[in-house]
C-alpha cells in the first residue's frame, strides 16, 4: 500500500517516487535531468497512513558514481534514487566519455572510454556532487579541469580541503576565476606534478569534512605509495562507509575503519565492482518527521535504524511511539489514540554523524512549532541553513 495523504494534493512526481508498488526505479537509457514541478499545492489539515518505500541514498550514490572513474571495466550500482542529482551526475560521466546505461533503478558505468578530463561548466553548476570527479580524474588520468561546485545555497561550503589534500598527494592545483565577482564561476586545474600520477603523502583535515574525505580517499586509492589522512570524517559516517567498501571491493587497500585516521596504500589499477546503495537516512528521517507533524501512523522500509538513531531518540523523547517490526521496517506513530497526549518539545544541535543531521534540521524545526513547550535549535554545520 502506498503512502496516502488525506485531503492533500501533490504533484504527480510525488506518487511516482513514493509508491511502494513500484518494484524498481526507472531511468532513461540516456540520463538527462528532467524538469520538475516547482509548485506544491497542499490543502490541510491532513493525516498520513500506509507504507512508504525508502529510496537509495542520494548522498552515498554521488561519490560512488564518481568512484567508477577509478575503475577499469564495468561497475554496476543498484538501488539508485530517481532524483535529478543522480541524472546530472550520470550526464557528467557521459560527457567525459564514460558509457552509462540506466535501467530499473540500476546504473552500469564503464569508464574505459573516458577521453576528456574537463567537466562541462553548465553540468557542474547543477550539482555540488559533480566536484567529486576531480579526485578520480587526477588519480587515474593525471589531470582534471573542474568548475567550482554549484548546488544548493545553504552556507559556506569551501573546497579548500579537497585542493590542499590533492597538493599533499603531489598535484599542482590552480584556481582561476572566470568572473572575479562570482566565486562559483571559477575553475580548478589540477595535474600530477610528476606528469604520471599522484603519490602517497600525509594530510590532516582542519575539519572532518565528509566530501573532502571522500575525494581524497578516491584519489589516494590510486596514488603511488602510502597515504595517511588524519582528522577525517570517521569511517563510521554512513556515506564514507559505503564508499570505502566499494573501493575495497574494486581492489583498493584502506585501513582505519571507525577512527579519525585513514591509511591507504595506492594501487596502480582498480577494477569495476557491484554495489547496492543503502537506504537514504535523510528520506527516512523526513517521513518519520512527517508522521510526527501530522500526528499520523505510517510504516517505512527498508530502513537501517542505526543510521537514524539520533532522530529516533528525539522523537521518542517527544512522545512518538517507534517500533521496529522487523530488521528493515519501522512503524512511527504520533496518532493521539497511540500516544494519549500531545508531543513535547525537545532541543537539537546539528553535528556530523552520529550527531543530529543538518539535513533534517528544517523539517525538525517545523515539527517543533507543533509541540508543547519551548525548543532550542542550534545549527553548527552550515551557516546559512536557517534561511527556511
Between CA 41 and CA 187 the distance in angstroms is: 39
Tell whether the model's pLDDT for residue 20 goes beyond 50.
Answer: no
Grid-cell match 600530477, residue found: 192
Report DSSP letters for 331-372, one per residue.
EEE--HHHHSSPPBP--EEB-STTSB-GGGHHHHHHHHTTSB
For residue 115, what are the CA distances in angstroms to 111, 112, 143, 217, 219?
9, 9, 11, 23, 19
The residue whose grid cell reads 558509457 is: 99
Instruction: Provide mean pLDDT across the span 34-44.
Output: 75
What CATH superfamily classification does 58-276 receive?
Enolpyruvate transferase domain (3.65.10.10)
The domain 281-379 having CATH identifier 3.65.10.10: the answer here is: yes
- Give me the mean pLDDT over the 267-277 stretch: 96
Provide the mean pLDDT of the chain.
85
- Top pLDDT among 377 and 44 is at 377
Task: State the pLDDT confidence band at 150, using cuts at 50, 70 and 90.
Answer: low
Q: Hey, CA dihedral for 264, 138, 56, 59, is it positive or negative?
A: positive
Q: Residues 257-263: what's their mean pLDDT? A: 82
Q: In what order do the strands lie in the sheet with 143-147?
A: 143-147, 186-192, 171-177
Q: According to CATH, where is 3.65.10.10 located in the chain?
A: 58-276, 281-379
Give yes or no for a contact between 376 and 347, defined as CB atoms under 8 angstroms apart.
yes
Residue 137 phi, psi dihedral angles, 5° rounding: -65, -45
Is-contact 256 263, C-beta < 8 A?
Answer: yes
User: Is 325 within 8 Å of 288 (Cβ atoms)?
Assistant: no
> Given a cut of 50, is residue 380 above it in pLDDT?
yes
182 in catalytic set = no
Which range of 51-55, 117-121, 182-186 scores highest in mean pLDDT? It is 51-55
- Rounded Cα distance, 223 and 216, in Å: 10
CA separation, residue 145 to residues 110, 177, 185, 214 (Å)? 21, 13, 13, 18
DSSP summary character for residue 308:
G
Q: What percentage of residues in the chain have a pLDDT greater than 90?
A: 67
The average pLDDT across 184-189 equals 73
What are the angstrom distances between the C-alpha of 29 and each of 90, 103, 108, 116, 130? Answer: 10, 7, 10, 21, 20
As a whole number, mean pLDDT of residues 336-346 equals 91
> Residue 241: which pLDDT band, with cuts at 50, 70 and 90?
confident
Helix (H) and strand (E) counts in the chain? 12, 21
What are the grid coordinates assigned to 273, written together?
A: 565492482
pLDDT average, residue stretch 211-228 = 96
Report, as an integer, the average pLDDT of 81-100: 94
Residues 6 or more apart from 142 whose CB is under 8 A from it? 191, 192, 195, 196, 197
Global pTM reads 0.83
Is the model's pLDDT at 324 over the cut of 50?
yes
Note the pLDDT of residue 235. Answer: 59
| Angle 218-220-223 from CA coordinates, rounded to 5° | 125
Residues facing residue 176 across a β-bridge: 187
* Catalytic-role residue among 5, 18, 71, 152: 152
* Confidence at 273, pLDDT banded by 50, 70, 90: very high
Is pLDDT at 234 greater than 80 in this prediction? Answer: no
Amino acid at each position: 500500500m502506498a503512502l496516502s495523504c488525506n485531503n492533500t494534493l501533490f504533484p504527480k512526481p510525488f506518487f511516482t517516487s513514493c509508491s511502494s508498488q513500484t518494484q524498481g526505479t526507472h531511468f532513461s537509457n540516456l540520463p538527462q535531468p528532467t524538469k520538475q514541478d516547482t509548485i506544491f499545492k497542499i490543502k490541510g489539515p491532513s493525516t498520513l497512513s500506509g507504507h512508504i518505500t525508502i529510496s537509495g541514498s542520494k548522498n552515498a550514490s554521488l561519490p560512488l558514481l564518481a568512484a567508477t572513474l577509478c575503475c577499469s571495466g564495468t561497475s554496476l550500482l543498484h538501488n539508485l534514487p530517481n532524483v535529478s542529482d543522480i541524472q546530472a551526475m550520470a550526464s557528467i560521466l557521459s560527457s567525459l566519455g564514460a558509457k552509462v546505461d540506466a535501467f530499473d533503478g540500476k546504473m552500469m558505468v564503464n569508464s574505459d572510454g573516458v577521453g576528456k578530463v574537463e567537466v562541462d561548466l553548465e553540468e557542474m553548476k547543477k550539482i555540488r556532487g559533480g566536484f567529486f570527479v576531480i579526485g578520480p580524474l587526477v588519480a587515474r588520468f593525471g589531470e582534471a579541469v573542474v568548475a567550482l561546485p554549484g548546488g544548493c545555497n545553504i552556507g559556506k561550503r569551501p573546497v579548500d580541503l579537497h585542493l590542499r589534500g590533492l597538493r599533499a598527494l603531489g598535484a599542482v592545483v590552480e584556481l582561476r576565476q572566470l568572473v572575479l565577482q562570482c566565486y562559483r564561476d571559477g575553475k580548478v586545474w589540477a595535474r600530477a606534478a610528476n606528469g604520471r600520477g599522484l603519490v602517497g603523502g600525509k594530510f590532516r583535515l582542519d575539519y572532518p569534512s565528509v566530501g573532502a574525505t571522500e575525494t581524497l580517499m578516491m584519489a589516494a586509492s590510486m596514488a603511488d605509495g602510502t597515504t595517511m589522512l588524519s582528522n577525517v570524517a570517521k569511517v563510521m559516517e554512513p556515506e564514507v562507509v559505503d564508499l570505502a567498501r566499494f573501493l575495497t571491493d574494486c581492489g583498493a587497500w584502506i585501513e582505519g575503519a571507525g577512527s579519525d585516521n585513514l591509511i591507504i596504500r595506492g594501487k596502480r589499477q582498480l577494477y569495476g565492482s557491484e554495489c547496492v546503495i543503502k537506504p537514504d537516512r535523510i528520506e527516512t528521517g523526513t517521513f518519520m518527521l512527517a508522521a510526527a507533524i501530522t500526528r499520523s501512523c505510517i510504516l517505512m522500509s527498508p530502513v537501517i535504524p542505526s543510521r537514524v538513531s539520533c532522530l529516533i531518540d528525539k522523537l521518542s523523547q517527544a512522545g512518538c511511539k517507534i517500533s521496529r517490526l522487523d530488521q528493515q521496517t519501522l512503524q512511527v506513530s504520533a496518532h493521539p489514540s497511540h500516544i494519549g497526549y500531545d508531543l513535547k518539545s525537545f532541543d537539537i544541535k546539528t553535528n556530523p554523524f552520529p550527531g543530529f543531521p543538518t539535513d533534517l534540521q528544517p523539517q525538525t524545526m517545523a515539527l517543533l512549532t507543533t509541540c508543547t513547550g519551548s525548543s532550542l535549535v542550534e545549527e553548527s554545520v552550515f551557516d546559512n541553513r536557517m534561511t527556511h
